[in-house]
Amino acid sequence: MSRDLASFPRAVLTALSAAERLLTRRAGATVVLADPEDLGGSERSVVARARVARNPFSLPRTLVVKHYLGDPDPSRPDPFHFEVASCQLFTALPVDSRPSPVLIAHDPQARLLVMEDLGRSSTLADTLFGSDAVAAQRCLLSWARALGRMQAATAGRENDFGALLRRLGEKARRDPVADEARAAFAGVPELLAGTLGVTVGAAAEAEARETARLLGGTRFRAFSPSDTCPDNNLVTSRGVKFVDFEWGCFRDVALDAAYFRVPFPACESSFALPPGISDAMLEAWRNEIATVWPDLDDPTLLGTRLLDAQLLWVWLCTWWLLPRISEGENRLGGDPGRSARTSVALADYWRRLGSDAERGGRPATAALAGTVAAALHRRFDPDSDPALPVYPAFRG
């Protein structure tokens, strides 16, 4: 390892040393990495960029290394395995269809991935929290198109993904949302009654439970990163690219397309979109998936499935977020400049659901949504504007 790494955090040094050993084994000659850049990561992982200073075979000039910290929980699926399988699935796709960086190498023992470097790209979040409304709208449409292309490219590849997981030792493929959603169907009525004094009628509960059909083996399944928050989407010269597949899975495409109606639900950077942009995003997405699922070109069928997914997400967000608000944690994230009040965001999810449910023929849900939104405002934000602000890029 080159001398210029000496001042870097130990976790970064460990990751790059492991990457050097992995690449050296593959090349049969010494690979040296230099000029590191800590890209952050999370509590579970370290992510760093490095220049390939000594390159005995055809490596790119720079690489990104992701090192998972600690040992996996033996009682739960290992997110490292799901990220590797996701990247392997994408790397096998044609270049124009790849939604993510190419996987160059991985080491299951070291729990390490070495990936293509997409450059010093900004994230979708950077654009949304910038000052250029035109650029923000362009990036949102690019994100919607990228989502549709990824879903179209991975349709029918669920068995391939399962085979990749089995090679890594994972026996089960899972959607991390599925169990949580079923818990929400069971627990939200009591939660709303106890926290807000709102009674969920039998009809509204039945309308919510019917959305569970999206969690099963539908005809419209494709890969989902599960976590497509704005910080996990890079804006590159080749369009928006997705990163972070620790919870990658296959599920109904409507569950991700519903992000157009509930912008990035429960993400730290969840704000509102100006009128018209959600519809434009939906159209951009639909243009990408129509050849694979022509049935979804039917506005009635698509509208029903999107409303199902929207309803499911709002119940799930309520299950996740309402206890946090009650305990005094009333920000979606730690940065006030990039994070709305949780109670305001949750009320906005319900308010929008109410409008869409009324148009979509779900009267019980529409009535419940209005009651919950009003109760959230009375309980947590009585002296403030009840409207969720739009992203800063659109406030000019």
pLDDT at residue number 73: 85
Please report how the helices 176-196 and 202-209 are oriented relative to each other, as an axis angle in degrees rounded to 10: 160
Q: Looking at domain 122-394, what is its CATH homologous superfamily?
A: Aminoglycoside phosphotransferase (APH), C-terminal lobe (3.90.1200.10)
Q: Is 112 helix (H, G, I), strand (E, B) or coil?
A: strand
**Would you list the domain boundaries of the chain?**
3-116, 122-394
pLDDT at residue number 74: 84
How far apart are alpha carbons 292 and 13 in whole angstroms? 45
Please report how the helices 363-380 and 299-326 are oriented relative to each other, as an axis angle in degrees rounded to 10: 30
> pLDDT, tens digit, for every residue of 203-220?
999 999 999 999 988 999
Q: Given 3.40.50.620, 3.20.80.10, 3.90.1580.10, 3.30.200.20, which CATH number is that of 3-116?
A: 3.30.200.20
> pLDDT, tens digit, for every residue of 313-351?
999 999 999 999 999 999 999 888 899 999 999 999 999
> pLDDT, tens digit, for every residue of 233-290?
999 988 899 999 999 999 999 999 999 999 999 999 999 999 999 999 999 999 999 9
Average pLDDT over residues 365-373: 98
Cα→Cα distances 233→99, 241, 301, Å: 10, 6, 29
Average pLDDT over residues 189-210: 98
82 phi, psi to nearest 5 deg: -70, -35
What is the DSSP code (8-state) at residue 389?
P
pLDDT at residue number 206: 98
Cα→Cα distances 119→37, 178, 241, 243, 358, Å: 12, 34, 11, 13, 45
DSSP codes joined into one string, 269-324: T--B--TTHHHHHHHHHHHHHTTT-GGGGSHHHHHHHHHHHHHHHHHHHHHHHHHH
**Mean of all residue pLDDT scores within the chain:** 93
Helix (H) or strand (E) holding 40: strand 32-41
Looking at residue 115, its amino acid is M
pLDDT at residue number 285: 98
What is the DSSP code (8-state) at residue 390?
B
pLDDT cut 90: percent of the chain above it: 79
Task: Please tell me the number of Cα atoms within 13 Å of 118 on its side-chain side.
Answer: 22
Average pLDDT over residues 30-38: 90
The residue ranking higher by pLDDT, 227 or 292, is: 292
State pTM to two decimals: 0.93
pLDDT at residue number 7: 61
Poorest-confidence range of 53-57, 236-240, 306-310, 315-319?
53-57
Confidence of residue 393 (pLDDT cuts 50, 70, 90): very high
Tokens 């599925």, residue? 178
Looking only at the bridges linking them, the beta strands covering 45-54 and 103-107 are unpaired
Confidence of residue 3 (pLDDT cuts 50, 70, 90): very low
In 3D, which of 253, 325, 265 has the Cα closest to residue 295?
A: 253
pLDDT cut 70: percent of the chain above it: 97
Contact 141, 280 (CB under 8 A): yes
